[in-house]
Amino acid sequence: MATNSEELFEASLCINSEEWTKDTLSGLPACKGVLLFVNRDGQPIQLLQAASIRRTAQAKLIDTEEESNVPSRKTDISELTERIDYTCCYNNFQSQMTYLRLAHAVFPDNASDWIQLPRPSFSVIDMSLPLPYFFVSTSPETNIHRKVFGLFPNRKSAGLFCDTLNTVFGLCRNPSLLGSGNEPSCPYLQMQSCPGPCVGQLKTETYCQFVTDAITTAGGEIDTVLAERKQQMQSAAQSMYYERAKLLKDQVDAIEKLKSPAFHWTSRLDELAVLHIDRADKIKVEGQRKLVQQYAIWKITADGVFSLGQCSLDDFDVFHNFLLGNQGANMPSHYTQSPYEHLGTLSLFLFRNNVQGLWLNISNGLPDASNLNNQLINIFKLETEQPPE
């Protein structure tokens, strides 16, 4: 436990009477944020994210059982709570990042008990294996031999991704038999749906080329592979090799599925780069009477979550130049403690039904200025001039 949790938050509210009331809680802001209930000994009771700090505090501390005549199932912490520490946030992602940071600071010994995130699944190929193949893993660890791909909405999608690549490119689909001496019993080999590298039917260098092609496809070069397969399919059909043409047609159909929305955020994990833009606070700008809306900008990679600061959208050229100048910046991240946390958080936001703010896959760079401006206008309902040419 931190020596003084008040130092971790923007502000605090202490009780001056024997019970919490709406009047005593009126000093709390109604904004989104994170709040901590603290007892008289300065020990934390409960850490929460809130859409409204004031309403959440009222719901936790003011007994409404008598008014509703319905027994309450919530734990009554009103008699234990003497202080509320809180930090205001302006969007959901900032709130989540702030919560993670505070969970580790307030509960250093058991922060995991306070953090509930989806555990992402990844597609992995280990090049140190005699016959490399794609498999599903929950570990994002990469090294010189271990190539990792993600993100996926769920384990099923990661499995489909692996199965498609292994099937289309003739990679091993029954690795449990490798080295057992029972390779000839593999059903894929018996059905002639496998080129048989494990029994010497396929040269090692040819299998290595299959692996290279599969990795290229997994990394996003799907259109190139599709064009090659379609050309081969047409040539086979013209030469009346109809079984070969049918096989290639099945492969084309399988590869096409990798272009579905489920794989929109899938890339090599060490190349993953996601840009998030959402509303921040409003600030006073010299020469303007109204407060100017600011927008927070975040960059998320496999290495961490990086705040690129905030900027106004009033002048799109200035904003776009700001992005171009900062997208390569990787400021030290203090928001999460492990890849599981920030990749789990990223999955939580990318694959939810109601996505807030703008999320962009910038693994291959920023979209052009006109495209970006149109997306900002659509997401934030901005009243701006025509997009720049």
pLDDT > 80? residue 366? yes
8 Å CB contact between 131 and 207: yes
pLDDT band at residue 328 under the 50/70/90 scheme: low
Strands (E), the chain: 11-14, 33-38, 44-50, 83-88, 122-126, 134-137, 146-150, 267-268, 273-283, 292-301, 304-312, 358-361
pLDDT > 60? residue 184? yes
Please say whether the dihedral angle defined by the alpha carbons of residues 191, 196, 200 and 206, taken in this order, is positive or negative. positive
Give first-to-last CA distance, the chain, whole Å: 54
Percentage, residues of the chain above pLDDT 70: 90
Instruction: Report residue 281: phi and psi, to 5°.
Output: -85, 175
Predicted confidence at residue 152, as pLDDT, reads 96
pTM of the model: 0.86
pLDDT band at residue 144 under the 50/70/90 scheme: very high
User: Using CA atoms, how far apart are residues 225 and 221, in angstroms rounded to an integer?
Assistant: 7
Predicted confidence at residue 357, as pLDDT, reads 93
Q: Where is average pLDDT lowest: 148-152, 160-164, 218-222?
A: 218-222
270-300 residue pLDDT tens: 999 999 999 999 988 887 888 889 999 999 9
Predicted confidence at residue 16, as pLDDT, reads 64
CA distances from 386 to 152, 201, 319, 382 (A): 36, 62, 15, 11
pLDDT > 50? residue 385? no
pLDDT > 90? residue 345? yes
pLDDT > 70? residue 322? yes
Predicted confidence at residue 352, as pLDDT, reads 86
Phi/psi region, residue 361 (left: phi>0; alpha: psi -120 to 50; beta: rest), is beta
Instruction: Report residue 127: phi and psi, to 5°.
Output: -75, -10
Write down the domain spans for the chain: 5-114, 122-263, 272-380
8 Å CB contact between 13 and 28: yes
8 Å CB contact between 165 and 218: yes
Give mean pLDDT, residues 360-367: 87
pLDDT band at residue 1 under the 50/70/90 scheme: very low
Give mean pLDDT, residues 186-196: 88
Percentage, residues of the chain above pLDDT 90: 54
CA distances from 126 to 111, 120, 147, 170 (A): 32, 19, 6, 16
93-137 residue pLDDT tens: 999 999 999 999 999 999 999 999 989 999 999 999 999 999 999
pLDDT band at residue 264 under the 50/70/90 scheme: very high
8 Å CB contact between 298 and 306: yes
Structural tokens at position 166: 């292994």
Indicate the residue type of 200.
Answer: G
Predicted confidence at residue 387, as pLDDT, reads 44
CATH number (3.40.1170.10, 3.40.1440.10, 3.90.226.10, 3.90.320.10) of 5-114 reads 3.40.1440.10
52-88 residue pLDDT tens: 999 999 999 886 554 555 555 567 888 889 999 999 9
Give mean pLDDT, residues 238-256: 88
Q: Where is average pLDDT lowest: 168-177, 261-270, 312-321?
A: 312-321
Predicted confidence at residue 363, as pLDDT, reads 87
